[in-house]
Amino acid sequence: MFRDKIKGLVRKARELETEHKDRIHAARIRHEASWRSERPDRVPVGLGVDPVWSDWYYKRKYGIEIGRLWDNPKLLVECELRAWIDSFLDFDDDRTFVIPNAVGPLGGVFLHPSIVRCRTVFPEDDFPWIDLSYRVFDAKEKIDDFTTPDIQEAGLMPEILKRLETLDKIIGDIVDVRILGGDGSPLQMAAYTRGISQLIRDMYEDPPIVHKLMRKMMDVYDKVNKYYEAAWQTPYRGEDIEGRFYDNPLSYFSPRLVETFVLPHYKEYAGKCGWKNWSFETQDVMDPFIELFRTIPIRTISSLVSSSDLRLFKSVLGPKRVRFGVFLAPGRLMLDRLGIEGDVKRIVNIMGHDGGWTFSSSEVDSAVPQENIQSFLSAAKKYGR
C-alpha cells in the first residue's frame, strides 16, 4: 500500500512537470540569469513552504503533529511528496521542480550535534531541536579526551540510517532516499557542546582551548562530509564546489572573535578542500560582519534577512562579487496585505532589477494565512518585474 502511494505521488509529480513545463523552464531561466548577475524578466521568488522545515502543510492542511513524522518515516515521506505537489499547485512561485531531489528523514542541524553527544529534544508538535541547557564539555578536560567517533555509529545516526535502509528497500527504485536538512557547522557544534556563554568566556580567558575545540569540531565536520560523499556521492571537494558554512549562532560572537577563533579554521579547511568560493548562511542579521566578509571569498549569502542594511550589503559586497538570497524577516508575513506589499516594494527598490539576488519568504509557519502568502507572491511579482 505504501509503495503504491509513493508510486502514485511520483507519477502525479511527473505529470505536473510535463503539464507545467513552460512555468518550470521560465523559472529556471529566471534563476540562472539572476545568479549570473544579469537582468531577469523579474526577480525570482520562492516560498518556504517546503516540508523539510516548514510545518505549514503538516499542520494547516494535513492536521499532523510533527512528532509523528519522526516516529513514522513512511508517513514522513508520503507527506513530503504530497506537500511538494500541493505547494506547487497552490502557489505559483519560481519552483524549478515538482519531484524533489530526494526524500527522507530530517538531519543536519540536530543530527550533526548529536554526533558529538549533544542532546536532542523531540517535541510532540515541533521539529527536533538541541537542548542548549546541556553541555557536553562542561569541563575542559572533556575537550582533551574527545575523539571523533565513527560517524555512522554516533548519536542519532544509527537510528536515521536504519530508517533510510528500510525506506530504500521499499521505494528506493522509485525516488531517491537520503538524509535531508541543513548542516551542523563546526562553530555551531562548538557552541552547543561548550555552551555559548562559556565559549565566549573561553575566548577571552583560554584561547588555546577554543582552538583545540574548533579543530576537533572541524574534524567531525570533515568526517561527516567524507561519509556523505561515500554513501550518497555528495561531493564536497574541488574548485567547482562552493563550500557551505551554516552558522546559526554567529550573531552571539563579535566580529573580532569570529576573525580570531573561527575564520582561521574555516580558511584552512577550505584550502584543503580546494574551495575557491564559500556560501555563508545564518538565520540572523549579519550586519556586524560585513567588513569581515570583505576578507573571505564569499560567493553566496543565501539567507540575508530583509531587516538587514540591504543597501550596505549591496554596496560593499555586490554587485557581481556576491549573490544574495534575501528573505522577508520572520513575522512580516503576519502583516496585512498593504504591510506585506510595502515591505516587498522597499526590498526590491533597494536590491534592484539587475540580477544577483533572489527573494524568498523564508520558512513559513503554520500560523500564516494562505492569503498572506499570496499577497507576498503577488507583490514580489508586481514590483520585481
Round to whole Å and give the CA distance between 315 and 307: 16
Q: Is the pLDDT of residue 305 over 70?
A: yes
Each residue's pLDDT tens digit, 360-376: 998 899 999 999 999 99
Q: Is the pLDDT of residue 16 over 70?
A: yes
Round to whole Å and give the CA distance between 221 and 179: 16
Query: What CATH number should be reported for the domain whose range is 101-242?
Result: 3.20.20.210
Q: Is the pLDDT of residue 320 over 90?
A: no
Reading the block at residue 1, the C-alpha cell is: 500500500
Each residue's pLDDT tens digit, 348-358: 999 999 999 99
Q: Is the pLDDT of residue 223 over 80?
A: yes
Q: How many CB atoms lie within 10 A of CB 209?
A: 17
* 256, 308, 185, 116: CA torsion to nearest 10: 90
Each residue's pLDDT tens digit, 171-181: 999 999 999 87
CB of 355 closer than 8 Å to CB of 316: no
Q: β-strands 243-246, 129-130: how paired?
A: unpaired
CB of 195 closer than 8 Å to CB of 136: no
- Cα-only R_g, the chain: 21
pLDDT band for 30, please (50, 70, 90 cuts).
Answer: very high
Provide the pLDDT for residue 207: 98
Q: Mean pLDDT over all residues of the chain?
A: 94
Provide the pLDDT for residue 246: 85
Provide the pLDDT for residue 249: 84
Average pLDDT over residues 308-315: 95
Q: Which regions of the chain does DSSP assign to beta strands (E)?
A: 45-48, 120-121, 129-130, 243-246, 278-281, 298-305, 323-327, 357-363
Provide the pLDDT for residue 182: 67
CB of 320 closer than 8 Å to CB of 355: no
Round to whole Å and give the CA distance between 364 and 375: 13
Q: Is the pLDDT of residue 107 over 90?
A: no
pTM of the model: 0.94
- Lowest-confidence region among 139-153, 170-184, 254-268: 170-184
Provide the pLDDT for residue 52: 85
pLDDT band for 281, please (50, 70, 90 cuts).
Answer: confident
252 conformational bin, left if phi > 0, alpha if psi -120 to 50, beta if neither: alpha
Each residue's pLDDT tens digit, 111-124: 999 999 999 999 99
